[in-house]
Chain A
């Protein structure tokens, strides 16, 4: 017995989009990285829209990812801190799903509670204690339990349960065949914790390289979570469109406005699905004006 040296490296995590969607099952709990209209794995979300997947529990700091999945009837339950497109504060299809009674099963959370639940799952704990939620209807409707500190202070705290994910979907700038990611841009949100809270994490990237250490060794600080948390990788340039991917491209506010307007039209979603989402990403990219146009979208100013 004893340590056996690995003689051959065989781990290659490259998958096709279809293979990734094929690993997702009806009824799964799926976490989606990014934040509102920022760095969302939209190409992977579109692949779900085109699939027969259903009855999903979605966990997200939501934007159009949540709105589109609601519009397509994919969501059985939504766990969220907010759903917004920033400049368009109210996400039109999320709003429609909620106001029509199509999405009664929700767990509305404080933004910090959501990351706390992901952290509990990542650390394999049943819950993490917090003051957040006490005194609000987030606690009333969330049916959370409380715990009492066993120490002298005796403080009563809300027990935020672990948010265990069957899968997480994340979009970054670069990933290598082994799953080493690099997320550039000023903010990485809570993608790290989505990845660690999930049984399997699928990463789409603008660029897939064979070996990160050979291609981009100087950007290792952009490796926001380690490759042991990555199951599958796929190259999808412009894969975050219409959300922003700084410094590569900004969000597409013109697109968001047209998308939001479609929610007010009779049959608007079916039309958006057929004409914009289409059968594959090649169709999508052509429908939104092409790769060059997306690459030139200005970065948002706050």
Chain B
């Protein structure tokens, strides 16, 4: 795959790609004060072209936060804007339109078991209306890059965990998305492949994509040297600060 810096889908630097305005998330009835909040009044922005890690202990709400960004979860209160557009809960057409600018790597991969490796990787392009002739070369090149060129016709159920992970990443970036969200993208692969995948994310970021990666992998975070957002007790902190403080207008 050869992403082009001129690609119009990549947001120009300086724009805010993700904007959380006083966003809270609880799993119970918000009218009841007894229900605990998973995320509390988050206010932060991700500028276009930024690269962040999202860390925090298990159950801190990393996946929930990502879900809200990719519009699979509605916040209990507050407002989210993506690419400058405020999300209207229940507007499925808006969700579909915005999701086309996202690349999502799911923690549990979510590969389609009845499609082979090539067709799984090409899925977002099919959804975008491209024909096989149009995307064949790009998808093949991308799969070579993630080390799956020898597995093009294999079905997902025979792939190893690491191969599934790489396929999920390939599917997420195949459309050259404006915003890449990854939930533990290196959780099932060895360090060398993890670094290689990270280089792919960094390369896409260098070309203008905004990247947010939720991870537990401290070594990966340290090696990349990228800024970290840390979820603790339902609040978001910048990890590089000595004294943790809630974010308010982060970015």
Partners in one complex: no
Give me the interface of A with B, judged by CB distance under 8 Å.
none
